[in-house]
Structure 1
């Protein structure tokens, strides 16, 4: 019998297992929206009851979110092959394996317990570096700034909604101050989502809860004047560059959901910002 790795993660950090499992499940499908054999390997090696997430619609949502972030990072690297990418709250993400560049510096940032787990599956390289720190701690920006330089792309996927509003504002201000003109990709959740988390299909299976309610991502432009929203999508209004290459079954599903205009889908947005 194969020995599996025991894990010990903080309350919020445990949520990283949801998108990890989502990618692994998706990758095994005959027509996947996203192919991620590395996620399959990691899930198979971890001692955790992933079956609690089986069949949940949120798994598909997490895959579509990841796929859009992949598109944004790919577009950035196509324009800036030696640009710097920073994964905020990287968890056990494998975006580098999917879209990383042989020229672009890449930083994987997360809390110490997550980085300890991540080091069981990934190693630092001359271009790829793990940083053990809280995103609210200014010190991590020194490590990123000491690299070869920008332009910079910051991907904060399924991270910032779990912080308090003041903490999110601090993070945005910190990035804007240290890395002027950087791109920041993040997700936001409105009150229809944050107020009903106890009934959420996936979050109801864990203890973590989102703290930051954002009804309109334009709120961020008020915090940081000069910030521009380059894109803001719901899962049912994905850009054609992604939607048109999804499996036909997914395209049909998203069309049906769009017609229903469900608050849980309308209030969850995937945003790409240009910081001042």
Structure 2
């Protein structure tokens, strides 16, 4: 039935909240992102079990990381002729529709049940769906990078739900399969381990430079504090936390680069 709302299972709250945050921001006057596809998805979903506060700390963090990663990927795409983007833990992400992807081969990877839910919303597109876990050894097998194409890996709102050994395994897999790839993801401070919106964070990191210790083939390019964006909308307590050295880096966005094989010692 055309007017029937699509059900989002209760276990998918972590999928729904980022989608709703982007949709609500799009409807906001002078919103920092425009995501018409998220608005469309939200209008088709049964949201009776969910509440999203557009001014909450978690929502502002989602918007900050979305904006920063969108902008950084757009910069890379503007400097290359062709690219391959692999979106790990894609959930209900709509980045493909937000940025210019004319010369991009795009892959969305998530667990089989999430990919099925995603297909209900997305329908038939040029996106390649991979219904696997990032811990499966085979998840890179079907990804065609081509000769000389830029490769971008996104793991937004994902890696903190895995233990450090699993995170290391994922980064090692990326470094092995995608030389010179750019990797974007977010991290939390160890203080926030075992905390989260609806699922516990299992991994955190204090010094982002220590990410390079997880594999000798990766190097840190840049990091951003999520509190560096949308300062004017932050409650006063959050503004104070974003100033204090001990708390301003509680949640960060990371850009790693896989080194060229010839440059690895």
Shorter-chain TM range is 0.7 to 0.9
Alpha carbons 1:81, 1:101 under 8 Å: kept: no
Alpha carbons 1:18, 1:53 under 8 Å: kept: yes
**Against the structure 1 CA distance between its residues 266 and 170, is the aligned structure 2 distance closer, same or farther, given a 3 Å change threshold?**
same
Residue of structure 2 aligned with 1:224, choices 194, 211, 215:
215
The answer to which structure has the higher strand fraction is: 2
Q: By how many angstroms is 1:50 displaced? A: 5.6
Q: By how many angstroms is 1:3 displaced? A: 1.9
TM-score, normalised relative to structure 2: 0.87
Partner of 1:86, secondary structure, is strand
Q: Gaps spanning 5+ residues in structure 1: where?
A: 239-249
The answer to which structure has the higher helix fraction is: 1
The correspondence of residues 54-203 of structure 1 with structure 2, limited to 5 A, is 54-55=53-54, 56-125=56-125, 127-144=126-143, 146-149=144-147, 150-194=149-193, 197=195, 203=197
2:263 corresponds to: none
Q: By how many angstroms is 1:216 displaced? A: 2.0
Q: By how many angstroms is 1:210 displaced? A: 1.0
Alpha carbons 1:20, 1:43 under 8 Å: kept: yes
What's the CA shift string for 1:63-106, capped at 9, x where partnerless? 11111110111111111231111111111111111113211111
2:262 corresponds to: none
Partner of 1:142, secondary structure, is coil
Alpha carbons 2:132, 2:139 under 8 Å: kept: yes
Higher relative contact order (CA 8 A, sep 6+): 1
Q: Gaps spanning 5+ residues in structure 2: where?
A: 260-265
Q: By how many angstroms is 1:8 displaced? A: 3.0
Quote the Cα distance in structure 1 between the aligned partners of 2:217 and 2:234: 33
Partner of 1:139, secondary structure, is coil
**Against the structure 1 CA distance between its residues 209 and 264, is the aligned structure 2 distance closer, same or farther, given a 3 Å change threshold?**
farther
2:232 corresponds to: 252
The correspondence of residues 194-213 of structure 1 with structure 2, limited to 5 A, is 194=193, 197=195, 203=197, 206=198, 208-213=199-204
1:275 corresponds to: 258
Alpha carbons 1:193, 1:268 under 8 Å: kept: no
Q: Count residues with an aligned counterpart.
A: 253
1:266 corresponds to: 249
Q: Are 1:33 and 2:16 matched, yes or no? A: no
TM-score, normalised relative to structure 1: 0.84
What's the CA shift string for 1:136-171, capped at 9, x where partnerless? 112120111x34343210011000100111111000
Q: CA RMSD in A?
A: 2.3
